[in-house]
Chains A and B, each alone.
Chain A
Amino acid sequence: MAVERNLLEINNLKTGFRFGEEYHNAVDGVSLTLKKNEILAIVGESGCGKSTLATSIMGLHDPKNTQVSGEIIYKDLNLIDLNEKLYNRIRGNDIGMIFQDPLGSLNPLMTIYRQIAEALVYHSDMNEKQIKERVLELLNQVGIPRPEQIMKAYPHELSGGMRQRVVIAIALANKPPIIIADEPTTALDVTIQAQILDLMIDIQDETGSGIILITHDLGVVAETADRVAVMYAGQIVEEAPVDVLFRDPKHPYTRSLLNSIPHELEEGEELHVIHGTVPSLQKLPRKGDRFRPRIPWIPDEAFDENPELTEIAPNHKVRGNSWKHFHFEGEEK
């Protein structure tokens, strides 16, 4: 049996933003693969670099103020080397993107029909009639009622959930093999969130595309992802199939994060709080274990000089060896 090829392969990606004369990496050496038919969740807190990773894949950074290095391999092409013109043929056609804020990603002066049609006109040579058919088909696919009418509406006339469906329809317009969804349900109510997540899973079943789902919400991850990469301070600290990550998390950060989810507590018990704060980009420690300042009760010898992402079980990767010595504060090891 032939080994299935990766849809997307990211090798040692670094994206740095310019501060004065220096560049500071927000994404600092990320390697990932995305397969067909897979939902890969990238989870982490604000400032961990997860959104920068998404925009790097889409090539949305201002080249004057950012430095991108490494490889993003799609169909034997390294996307980093592409010029703007070639990149535009990839964006929307091969990689679709869904943003967090549906209102911000729609043009308020264009009807829903024109916004979806725009993506089709740009990337295909369909005629007017075909485009209309495809738009209707897409609106049906994303579960919009009365598509004939909604098609003529403007974004402000729709509810948040409906707008997000339109954004998904635009992302799907050209049947891209890869979809990147950056916090697609964060602005939505729980019942709408459940609908949108179900919709994304259904669409994936139908189209077999690979989805990179970027989120801070572990509940969303548990409900949708096949595989999870946890990011901290620009690096992936743990990567595992979703059931493994929730059943048997290893990295101290993953464990701390899972422990701080609000739940019902015993009398006198408190939620777990991670010590200190996420350092700013300029102050990020570039040497040693980046999570070390957040777990000061763990003795120094537990940390590696240069923690690498290593496979500790099939498909389960953890950065460094500190996890072997980790225990929560006040807890016996």
Chain B
Amino acid sequence: MGFLEVQELKVHYPIRGGILNTVQDYVRAVDGVNLTIESGKTYGLVGESGSGKTTIGKTIIGLEKASAGRILYEGENVTNKARSRNKKYENYNKDVQMIFQDSTSSMNPKKRIIDVMAEPMRNYFDYTPAEIKRRVAELLDIVGMNAEAMYKYPHEFSGGQRQRIGVARAVASDPKLIIADEPTSALDLSVQAQVLNFMRRIQKEYGLSYLFISHDLGVVQHMSDDIAIMHRGRFVEKGPKKEIYNNPQHIYTKRLLSAIPDMDPTTRESNKIERQRVEAEYDAQEAEYYDQNGRVYDLLPYKDDHFVATKPNSSLQNESINTKGEV
């Protein structure tokens, strides 16, 4: 059992129009998503722009409102209760933190690093100024920075350093889950490596969970234990990393994986042929994997904890039932 559970989460935005400005339809940014987060694990959420991956993260932390579905934290219903001042939800607010993609705009440029990082501590702990200072120094040390950094302003740091401060700030309230939304997309390769290394070290040290949202399949593969692939606001496939990468079942997952550039220039031609084959397969079999409205089917068990969104009673489904020899 996970400590955080997302059940049938939906986030719909109304589209208004007509003479009376009535609701005509909805944009279904997230449309029925289930997710269980256990402690100490990393969950990769992968999808292309507009797939709804960021919206899930934002809804969990309370920056977007859920239209339907529930978010349970330690068994307690906390849907749309994040940022509530009610003491009852304090633990939830404290235990779920976020790292943003853009490290520049996620920090107040007028505050020194010590104040940026002390804010979560002041919210949740009764530290004295001396304790805050000690704790900030400690956190900066964890992300490989000098204690003097705390008296500087955000603009005095490079992008990679700022992102490391963002990681340190997220850890400041001693959370259980950090939602990392494209934390390294804006960084160079060698800087990205550094931030990812620190994130992994911190995870070990604090037993944190990550919800790692990214479009970069290489980074997600590097970081995650479990992966969910999103398309059109729904999960198309979910399972352990190895299963998703080595044994993808959904046509969309296959398409996404075949599009990742390979680091081996000698296989270029065969990659291209494979990519075009998958692309053709995707066009041909779309009806098998999406209903007539283009909606992704519900996830069905494929094997063990590997789930695939397929048409009920499709061949893939029968096959897995047969191989497992049970219902």
Contact = CB atoms under 8 A, between A and B. Distances in A.
B193 A271 contact: yes
A316 B189 CA distance: 24
A263 B222 contact: yes
Interface stretch (A130-138, A140-148, A188-196): A188-196
Interface in B217-253: 217-219, 221-223
A291 to B, nearest CB: 12
B48 A191 contact: yes
A88 interface: no
B197 A46 contact: no
A29 interface: no
B283 interface: no
A159 to B, nearest CB: 9
Contacts, number: 103
Contacts of A262: 192-193, 196, 216, 218-219, 221-223
Given A191-B259, A219-B261, A246-B263, A261 B268 contact: no
Contact of A222 (B219, B223, B262): B262
Contacts of A260: 189-190, 192-193
A158 interface: no
A277 interface: yes
B325 interface: no
A212 interface: no
A44 B192 CA distance: 14
Interface string B170-208: 000000000000000000111111101100100000000
A243 interface: yes
Most chain B Cβ neighbours within 10 Å, of A46, A223, A256, A263: A223
17 contacts: A45-B189, A46-B188, A160-B49, A191-B255, A194-B261, A218-B263, A219-B262, A222-B264, A225-B265, A258-B263, A262-B192, A262-B196, A263-B222, A271-B194, A271-B197, A271-B222, A274-B190
Interface of A: 45-46, 160, 189-194, 197-198, 216-223, 225, 242-243, 246, 256-258, 260-265, 270-274, 277
Shortest 4 CB-CB distances between A and B: which pairs?
Answer: A219-B261, A262-B222, A271-B193, A260-B193
